[in-house]
Structure 1
Amino acid sequence: MSELSLLVLLPFLAATLTVAVPGRAASLGLVATAANALLVVSLCREIIARGAVEQVIGGWAAPLGITFVGDGLAAVMLAMTAIVSLAITAQAMSTPGRAGFWPLWMATLGALNGLFLSGDLFNLYVAFEILGLAAVGLTALAGTPMALRAAFDYLTAGLAGSLLILLGIALSYSVTGRVDLETVVVLTESSNGRIALALIAAGLAVKAALFPLHFWMPAAHSSAVPVASALLSALVVKGALYLALRLSIEGGAGAEFLRSALAVLGTGGMLWGAWNALRAERLKLLVAHSTVAQIGLIALAIGVAGDPLQNGLWTAAALLMLSHALAKAAMFLAVGRIAEALGHDRISGLNREELRPGAAEFAFAIAAISLVGLPPTAGFIGKWILIEGLVDEGAVHWIALLLLGTALSAAYLSRVVSRCLRGGPHVSATAQRLPWRSGDVAALGLATGALLLGLAAALPLTLLEVPFA
């Protein structure tokens, strides 16, 4: 059995075992996450050495069979998931357990791996369904009325997005008679095919919380428990963004209408999310609106990159996804610790005299540097690649919008960092210096990884240069 099938099978097996043996759920989750990381490392080495790999499941080949495909882009997404997964697992083991977390988390990991490896549209839909249902459960884990209401909105939005994707896949099958990803370029050549792609893209926009279809996301991410918020923001939304990028690549020049829509909606999301982050009064809500802005930035990067078969600007979007995943997971984990220490997450009460900045505050600050895109982060490398290509094309208006988005990111994140690093009275009598936990190591590790990833950007760029299967 190859790494491709094991990457999907192992997390689902772990999810089943954590239900059957709840007393050992944390240990089983740790073993499964570590094994998943080792499989990803092995697969990345194989892809670099041999190129893209493929596995046909059950002997049923394309166009109607189940095929797993591991190429450079899929490998980068799997590596992103594995790194964040290790940190999430470390954080979850250091905090009091919540019923249902480990099965939901393992199911989320399996669905993400299956999504990144699927070589056909229908199995992508199945992976999205599993991912969406697990994400709703993670949102509701807090058990508060706000969390349950946010989970219901998440479920409603997810079902609407799934319906649009399924309608698009059905229409694409009626046009081409097949469901593998190679049909995308054929779909761009007819009006019905373009309608099918538009339906799929609309469903992805809902699932990715792309402006103006982001109405469900800030409440869901801000009301969930910190470890679930980190998962939802860092990994779950990447599934839809990954498929949008994959459709852009597979569609080639014919998918320009899709990229134009992504560029426009991405610009709106980047500006609207930043504006709401500037106005947010709670720390978790600021970080949630920041996710809307960062999703818009990634969609904009996909949209303005042009034909992926003619240039390599699409790699900027992949690097931005990777950088965002590490930084945003670190940020949500840090926010959870800050709120635990202070007894609240109000931005106005972050500065205090008695408790000097600790590990969580420094993790947040480092993650903020990565999200803004300052050197030497991978966010900086991604923006540099994109702006350099846009300069060559003379697309000054897109460059101006990217720089505006960067300035707004610096503005709303500095609200938090400046308060954490300066003295002043705290507003909670229960504020305390918390003892170190593995979660602090996880947040600092992810934030530092996001910071230093720019220095090691050659590795993901080498993977992204591997030809598509």
Structure 2
Amino acid sequence: MSPATPGGSLLVLALILPVAAMLVAFVLGGRAAERLALAALGLGALLAMLVAAAVYRAGAPLAYAVGGWAPPLGLALRADGVTAAMLLTAALVLLAVALFGRTGHATPPGLAEARAPFAFWCFLLALSAALAAAFLGGDLFNLFVALEMLTFAALALACLEGKPSQFRSELRYLLFALIGSVLYLLGTVLLYGGYGTLDIALLAGRARADAPTLLAAALMTAGLAAKMALFPLHLWLPPAHAGAPPAASAVLSGLVVKASFVLLLRLWFWVMPPLAAAAAAPLLAALGAAAILAGSLVALRQARLKLLVAYSTVAQIGYLFLMFPLALAGDAEVAARAWLGGILQASSHAFAKAAMFLAAGLIAGALGHDRIAALGGAGRAVPVCVVAFGLAGLSLMGIPPSGGFTAKWLLLTSAVATGQWWWALVIVGGGVLTGGYVYRVLAGSLTAPPVTDAPIGDAPLPAAASRGPQLVALALALVSVGLGLLPLASFGLVQVGRLGAAP
């Protein structure tokens, strides 16, 4: 390969920008960290747009060989349509979370700098860098390093408040993540021993469906499933997400699990031979279907709002795995439709779930609790948050015209077209169950507040529930809905670089 394709330098900038900003912020201190983070994440969103535009315009992936050394001697950064779409999604959600975090993690003039706000901005930049590395990396070992960076940055954000309950839940997350790392690393050792390289593009032309390769794929898949909390390896996710601050929950649920998902796509659609991928796809989809049904049923029974949203994440992750058998079966048109449905589900879920967690955190802050049975008056205290939660819920349910509807409709029609009608039943059933737990929250929030000496809505709102953070949650929810209003032709970006897609 050539050292770089036209536009390849954008990939380097997207990776270096958050790293440089984090290092400078660490040196300069709290107030500078906030300004640098906001500036860097804003520029990161612009760079992600430029990368997406360059990929779409070229109709081919961007590439950059680090140091001018092509693989296997060197490392390569690559951006195809999936990478560009997820990089843009991550950049926009991170920017929204940074704007949301200004209220709770700012250092006003005249006050001494505190450790928690300083750590928030530094680790948010670290998370941005890790996501860029996870999406742009072209080598399986370096992607492992990126996932480890992502895990520790997310853990730090989730424990910023220093509560004992947070440390207990995040230690469980760390345990599952480390077990997943060991399994993934064992798989990369087997692949390197068999083929002498871990570059995805080179492995795509060499991998065979022999026992060592299949064992490596199984180990890596189990490790990645543990990291993204695929059922039944989901036990760490609900307590970790429910106990974290709202901003951390938003990025954990909306973005962190998506890095492992993109790597799974690379492994099964690029590295593994088609016959092996087709054989494994029904098993992955079955686990996804179990996640949809089990996660939704458990969410229906939750008494706390944040736990309900966390179990909803377990369910919504399952939809991502339904694309595996659908994108590998049928003609090219059906495969492209299923592929688009899966990627659109990943993107719309990121915006919707980030909006849900931010709104849930603001509702809990305004009421002083997050008990679903006692949400009465939330619609009066923080109406914008309730609207944001409802709009995000519409996307998760798959109600038109939301992005979640378009994604689930594409997957459903692909299931029918390929004769795999059982996945269509799972999609419909999951939507009905999602409607059940979203209705619980909205119905409770819109009831009259309890009779007290100081009625809800008359007392001043906490700083975290001020107008700015509420509007951020609403904006994310509107994006999740607005994705469904775009014509399907505009999503041609995600087909760029897909194996089997027309050049």
In structure 1, the residue matched to 2:70 is 61
Residue of structure 1 aligned with 2:482, choices 434, 442, 452? 452
Q: Following the alignment from structure 1 to structure 2, what is the Cα–Cα distance between the partners of residues 430 and 424?
A: 7
Residue of structure 1 aligned with 2:54, choices 46, 54, 73? 46
Q: Report the secondary structure of 1:61's partner residue.
A: coil
In structure 1, the residue matched to 2:210 is 190
Contact preservation (8 Å) 1:210, 1:296: yes
Residue of structure 1 aligned with 2:15, choices 8, 17, 39? 8
In structure 2, the residue matched to 1:294 is 316
In structure 1, the residue matched to 2:111 is none
| 1:343-358 matched pairs, under 5 angstroms | 343-352=368-377, 355=380, 358=383
Displacement of 1:309: 9.2
**Equivalent position amino acid for 2:310 in 1:** A
Q: Following the alignment from structure 2 to structure 1, what is the Cα–Cα distance between the partners of residues 343 and 23?
A: 32
Displacement of 1:63: 2.5
Contact preservation (8 Å) 1:330, 1:364: yes
In structure 1, the residue matched to 2:131 is 112
TM-score normalised over the length of structure 1: 0.95
Go from structure 1 to structure 2 and tell me whether the alpha carbon gap of 1:191 and 1:227 turns closer, same or farther (over 3 Å shift): same
Q: Following the alignment from structure 1 to structure 2, what is the Cα–Cα distance between the partners of residues 153 and 260?
A: 29
Go from structure 1 to structure 2 and tell me whether the alpha carbon gap of 1:150 and 1:426 turns closer, same or farther (over 3 Å shift): farther
Go from structure 1 to structure 2 and tell me whether the alpha carbon gap of 1:353 and 1:413 turns closer, same or farther (over 3 Å shift): closer
Go from structure 1 to structure 2 and tell me whether the alpha carbon gap of 1:447 and 1:459 turns closer, same or farther (over 3 Å shift): farther
Q: Following the alignment from structure 1 to structure 2, what is the Cα–Cα distance between the partners of residues 428 and 415?
A: 27
Displacement of 1:103: 1.3
Residue of structure 2 aligned with 1:235, choices 249, 255, 259? 255
**Equivalent position amino acid for 1:27 in 2:** R
2:293 is the counterpart of 1:271: yes
**Equivalent position amino acid for 2:293 in 1:** L
Q: Following the alignment from structure 2 to structure 1, what is the Cα–Cα distance between the partners of residues 460 and 325?
A: 45
Displacement of 1:13: 1.3
Displacement of 1:300: 2.5
In structure 2, the residue matched to 1:462 is 492
Contact preservation (8 Å) 2:403, 2:482: yes
Go from structure 1 to structure 2 and tell me whether the alpha carbon gap of 1:307 and 1:67 turns closer, same or farther (over 3 Å shift): farther
Q: Following the alignment from structure 1 to structure 2, what is the Cα–Cα distance between the partners of residues 4 and 442?
A: 28
- Higher alpha-carbon deviation: 406-415 or 301-310: 301-310
Go from structure 1 to structure 2 and tell me whether the alpha carbon gap of 1:396 and 1:140 turns closer, same or farther (over 3 Å shift): same
Q: Following the alignment from structure 2 to structure 1, what is the Cα–Cα distance between the partners of residues 100 and 406?
A: 29
- Higher alpha-carbon deviation: 205-214 or 39-48: 39-48
Contact preservation (8 Å) 1:101, 1:138: yes
2:45 is the counterpart of 1:37: yes
- Higher alpha-carbon deviation: 87-96 or 247-256: 247-256
Contact preservation (8 Å) 1:294, 1:324: yes
**Equivalent position amino acid for 2:249 in 1:** S
Q: Report the secondary structure of 2:308's partner residue.
A: helix
- Higher alpha-carbon deviation: 422-431 or 456-465: 422-431
Go from structure 1 to structure 2 and tell me whether the alpha carbon gap of 1:457 and 1:258 turns closer, same or farther (over 3 Å shift): farther
Q: Report the secondary structure of 1:58's partner residue.
A: helix
Q: Report the secondary structure of 2:218's partner residue.
A: helix
Per-residue deviation, residues 322-345 of structure 1 (Å, max 9, x unmatched): 010000000111111101110111
Displacement of 1:275: 1.4
In structure 2, the residue matched to 1:417 is 442
Identity %: 39
| 1:145-224 matched pairs, under 5 angstroms | 145-182=164-201, 183-184=203-204, 186-224=206-244
Contact preservation (8 Å) 2:14, 2:132: yes
Go from structure 1 to structure 2 and tell me whether the alpha carbon gap of 1:457 and 1:344 turns closer, same or farther (over 3 Å shift): farther
In structure 2, the residue matched to 1:322 is 347
Q: Following the alignment from structure 1 to structure 2, what is the Cα–Cα distance between the partners of residues 42 and 353?
A: 40
Go from structure 1 to structure 2 and tell me whether the alpha carbon gap of 1:309 and 1:228 turns closer, same or farther (over 3 Å shift): farther
Displacement of 1:261: 2.3
Q: Following the alignment from structure 1 to structure 2, what is the Cα–Cα distance between the partners of residues 425 and 81?
A: 39
Per-residue deviation, residues 255-296 of structure 1 (Å, max 9, x unmatched): 123322211111111111111111111000000000001111
2:363 is the counterpart of 1:338: yes
Q: Report the secondary structure of 2:355's partner residue.
A: helix
Q: Report the secondary structure of 1:77's partner residue.
A: helix
Q: Following the alignment from structure 1 to structure 2, what is the Cα–Cα distance between the partners of residues 161 and 172?
A: 17
Contact preservation (8 Å) 2:192, 2:198: yes
Contact preservation (8 Å) 1:168, 1:195: yes
Q: Following the alignment from structure 1 to structure 2, what is the Cα–Cα distance between the partners of residues 297 and 337?
A: 28
**Equivalent position amino acid for 1:34 in 2:** G
**Equivalent position amino acid for 2:380 in 1:** L
Contact preservation (8 Å) 2:359, 2:470: yes
Displacement of 1:411: 0.8
User: What is the root-mean-square deviation of aligned Cα atoms in Å?
Assistant: 2.0
- Higher alpha-carbon deviation: 142-151 or 353-362: 353-362
**Equivalent position amino acid for 1:94 in 2:** T
Q: Report the secondary structure of 1:68's partner residue.
A: strand
Contact preservation (8 Å) 2:309, 2:357: yes
Q: Following the alignment from structure 2 to structure 1, what is the Cα–Cα distance between the partners of residues 453 and 492?
A: 49
**Equivalent position amino acid for 1:467 in 2:** G
**Equivalent position amino acid for 2:309 in 1:** V
In structure 2, the residue matched to 1:137 is 156
Q: Following the alignment from structure 1 to structure 2, what is the Cα–Cα distance between the partners of residues 325 and 150?
A: 22
Q: Following the alignment from structure 2 to structure 1, what is the Cα–Cα distance between the partners of residues 321 and 357?
A: 22
Contact preservation (8 Å) 1:329, 1:446: yes
Q: Report the secondary structure of 1:54's partner residue.
A: strand
- Higher alpha-carbon deviation: 304-313 or 270-279: 304-313
Residue of structure 1 aligned with 2:86, choices 59, 64, 77? 77
Per-residue deviation, residues 105-129 of structure 1 (Å, max 9, x unmatched): 1111111011111111111111011
- Higher alpha-carbon deviation: 129-138 or 243-252: 243-252
